Structure formats: structure tokens, C-alpha cells
Amino acid sequence: MISEIQRNFAKLSQAMGFQRSPSSKQKVKPISKENNDENGGDHSINARTTSNPPDSDTSDASYNSWMVEHPSALDSFDRMIKAAKGKKIAVFLDYDGTLSPIVDDPNRAFMSDEMRAAVREVAKYFPTAIVSGRSREKVKEFVELSNVYYAGSHGMDIQAPPRPVKACEGKYHTLVPGKKGNEVLSMNTKREVCKL
């Protein structure tokens, strides 16, 4: 289950265009100890990008140094899971420049089908909200998903999905300790529990 979630987040990250093709990918220096102590002392995380990476024609050195400063949370997935234990996880996504590319005409800031599919998948597992400075209606028109929250006008106008996500195949859950000391996914809506 965890690896499925990890795969879906990886898809989302990939759809956001944050990863280079393997051929152009270079080794990135691990984050320094000083930069990483607050995250639990794992100093071997490879940095990747989170937003606005340099253009693909920028040199690898510049790209890599940008990546070191903007590590991807996906590279710390195990620590994220640890930190999320017993907590409800929610995903908040910006629209322009995150789910869609920045383009000259704001009416043509379309989201790719790949991105839409990745967000749909992530929203099966976590309450997912798209938060935008645009009007809620406009964002909804672009996103076209029924299983996410829409927060338009910088969060002043919020709409929940029409019906809760079904339990056990695509569900909202928290990580809780099981009776045998293992982690289980607790379904909030129907009190169902799925083993990890």
C-alpha cells in the first residue's frame, strides 16, 4: 500500500515536470548535514526539484545546484511516513505553475491529461485540495476532477467533492499503530482498516 502511494506521488511529481530524463540526469550531491538536521539526521538524501527548475537548456551544473536547494519530499518518503504516523494526511496543490505550465494567456493554462490522472490517483488516498488565486469555477473548469476540493479566490471560496471517496480501494486514511504493533491504514469514513 505504501509503495502504491509512493508511486502515485512519484507520478504526480513527474507529471509536474520536475524530473529529467535518465539520459540527462546527473548525480546530485547529498544535502549537507547543516541543511538537513531538522529532518531527523538522515544526510544521504538526493536533492530533486520542487518548483520552477531552470529551463531544460540550462547547464547541468546550474540545474544540479538548484536541485540541491530544492529537495523533493519524495526523496524523504520514509521519513514523511514516519512523521505522518497517527496523523491525517491532506494534499494541497497550487494550480498555475504547479499543475499547469505558466503561459502568456491565462485562459490557456491547461493541465495535461497525465497531470489530471496523477492528481486523480493521489486524491483516492488523501483528501486533496486545489488552492488558487483564480475563481473556483475557473480552476474547476481546468481541472475537471470530481474527487478533489476546490479552493478559489485564494481560499475564500471552497467546494468539497460531491461525495466522499469510497473506502478500501481509494480512501481517506490515517496511519495508526495496529494491535500487533504494525502500522495500519485507518479509514475515517467507514471505520474500515486496511493492512499495509
* In the complex, minimum distance from the CB of residue 41 to ligand L263DTV3, in angstroms, rounded to a whole number: 34
Residue in 2, 103, 160, 176 binding ligand L263DTV3, rule: CB under 6 A? 103
**97 binds ligand L263DTV3, rule: CB under 6 A:** yes
Stretch that binds ligand L263DTV3, among 23-31, 97-105, 119-127, 142-150 (CB under 6 A): 97-105
Joined together, the cell numbers standing for residue 7 give 508511486
User: What string marks each residue from 39 to 78 as x (binds ligand L263DTV3 by CB under 6 A) or -?
Assistant: ----------------------------------------
Q: How far apart are CA 122 and CA 137, in angstroms?
A: 22
Exposed / middle / buried, residue 159 (Cβ in 10 Å: 0-12, 13-18, 19+): middle
Pair type for strands 91-94 and 128-131: parallel
**104 binds ligand L263DTV3, rule: CB under 6 A:** yes
Number of residues that bind ligand L263DTV3 (CB under 6 A): 12
**172 binds ligand L263DTV3, rule: CB under 6 A:** no
**158 binds ligand L263DTV3, rule: CB under 6 A:** no
Q: Which is closer to ligand L263DTV3, CB of 101 or CB of 170?
A: 101
**109 binds ligand L263DTV3, rule: CB under 6 A:** yes
Give one DSSP letter per residue of 31-51, joined into a string. Answer: PPHHHHGGGTS---PBP---S
User: What string marks each residue from 125 to 154 as x (binds ligand L263DTV3 by CB under 6 A) or -?
Assistant: -------xxx--------------------
Q: Which is closer to ligand L263DTV3, CB of 34 or CB of 104?
A: 104
For the chain, the residue count is 196
Residue linked to cell 538526493: 46
In angstroms, the Cα distances linking 35 to 43, 77, 124 are 9, 17, 33
Q: How far apart are CA 160 and CA 181, in angstroms?
A: 34
Exposed / middle / buried, residue 44 (Cβ in 10 Å: 0-12, 13-18, 19+): exposed
Which positions lie near ligand L263DTV3, rule CB under 6 A? 94-97, 102-104, 106, 109, 132-134
Give me the active site residues, please: 94
